[in-house]
C-alpha cells in the first residue's frame, strides 16, 4: 500500500498519531484501516484522513471509496453513513467485496454485525 502511495499518516509535532491505509482497485479505492491514537481522538483527525482518502480517490479518477466496518458501532458504520457512505446488500457486493467479507469470517470477525459500504464519487 505504501508502494502504491496509498497510505496517509497524520502527525502531531512529527509524532505519528493516526493513519489511513488504502488500496487501489479497478472499481474503487478501498479503505482497509483507519485508526487514530486514543489520546488524539475526537479532534477531527479521523475526518481529515477520510477527506484525504476521498480526495485522493477522486484525483485518481476512481468511481468510489469502499470499506467494511461494524454496522452499529458509533464511530464505524454511523460515522461513515453521515459522511455519505451507503451500506451494500449482499446482492450488491462485487466479487472483491464478497472475498473481503469471506476473509473476515475466516479470521473470526462477527460478520453478521459488519457490512460493506460504498461512497460513490
Ligand atoms: C474511528 C476513528 C478513526 C475516528 O477518528 P477521530 O479522529 O477520533 O474522529 P473525529 O474527531 O474526526 O470525529 C469524527 C466523528 O467520529 C465519531 N466518533 C469518534 N469517536 C467517537 C466515540 N468515542 N464515540 C462516539 N462517536 C465517536 C463522532 O461522530 C465524531 O464526530 P463529532 O466529534 O463531531 O461527534 C477513531 O475513533 C479510531 O481510531 N477508532 C478505533 C479504530 C476504528 O474503529 N477504526 C475504524 C474502523 S472501520
Residue 53 is part of a domain; what is its CATH number?
Answer: 3.40.630.30
Q: Is residue 20 part of a domain?
A: yes
The DSSP result for 7-55, as a single string, is: EEEEEETTEEEEEEEEEE-SS-EEEEEEEE-GGGTTSSHHHHHHHHHHH
* Nearest atom (ligand 1) to Cα of 68: 48
Model confidence over 90-119: pLDDT tens digits?
999 999 999 999 999 999 999 999 999 999
> How close is the Cα of 42 to the center of ligand 1, in Å?
6
Q: Is residue 2 part of a domain?
A: no
Q: How many domains does the chain have?
A: 1
Q: Is residue 84 part of a domain?
A: yes
Task: Please name which of 46, 12, 4, 48 lies closest in space to residue 29, comparing C-alpha atoms.
Answer: 4
Instruction: Provide the pLDDT for residue 80.
Output: 97
Among 8, 32, 43, 46, which residue has the most ligand 1 atoms within 8 Å of its CB, making it the best to mutate?
A: 46
> How close is the Cα of 82 to the center of ligand 1, in Å?
12
Query: What's the domain range around 82?
Result: 7-120
Q: In what order do the strands lie in the sheet with 29-36?
A: 7-12, 15-24, 29-36, 64-70, 114-120, 86-88
Q: Is residue 94 part of a domain?
A: yes
Instruction: Provide the pLDDT for residue 95.
Output: 97
Measured by CA distance, the residue closest to atom 30 of ligand 1 is: 42
Instruction: Provide the pLDDT for residue 99.
Output: 97
Q: Is residue 42 part of a domain?
A: yes
Output 6-10 pairs: Cβ under 8 A, ≥24 positions apart: 6/56, 8/49, 8/52, 8/53, 8/56, 10/36, 10/40, 10/45, 10/48, 10/49
Q: In the beta sheet, which residues pair with residue 70? A: 114
Model confidence over 15-51: pLDDT tens digits?
999 999 999 999 999 999 999 999 999 999 999 999 9
Tell me the C-alpha distance between 13 and 4, whole Å. 26
Q: Exposed (0-12), middle (13-18) or buried (19+): which is 87, by Cβ within 10 Å?
A: middle
Instruction: Provide the pLDDT for residue 73.
Output: 96
Instruction: Provide the pLDDT for residue 108.
Output: 97
Q: Is residue 1 part of a domain?
A: no
Amino acid at each position: 500500500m505504501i508502494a502504491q502511495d496509498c497510505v496517509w499518516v497524520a502527525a502531531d509535532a512529527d509524532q505519528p498519531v493516526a493513519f489511513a491505509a488504502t488500496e487501489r482497485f479497478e472499481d474503487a479505492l478501498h479503505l482497509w484501516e483507519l485508526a487514530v491514537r486514543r489520546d488524539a481522538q475526537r479532534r477531527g483527525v479521523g475526518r481529515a484522513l477520510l477527506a484525504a482518502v476521498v480526495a485522493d480517490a477522486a484525483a485518481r479518477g476512481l468511481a468510489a471509496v469502499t470499506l467494511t466496518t461494524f454496522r452499529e458501532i458509533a464511530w464505524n458504520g454511523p460515522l461513515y453513513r453521515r459522511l455519505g457512505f451507503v451500506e451494500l446488500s449482499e446482492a450488491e457486493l462485487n466479487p472483491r467485496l464478497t472475498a473481503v467479507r469471506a476473509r473476515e469470517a475466516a479470521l473470526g470477525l462477527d460478520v453478521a454485525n459488519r457490512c460493506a459500504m460504498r461512497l460513490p464519487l
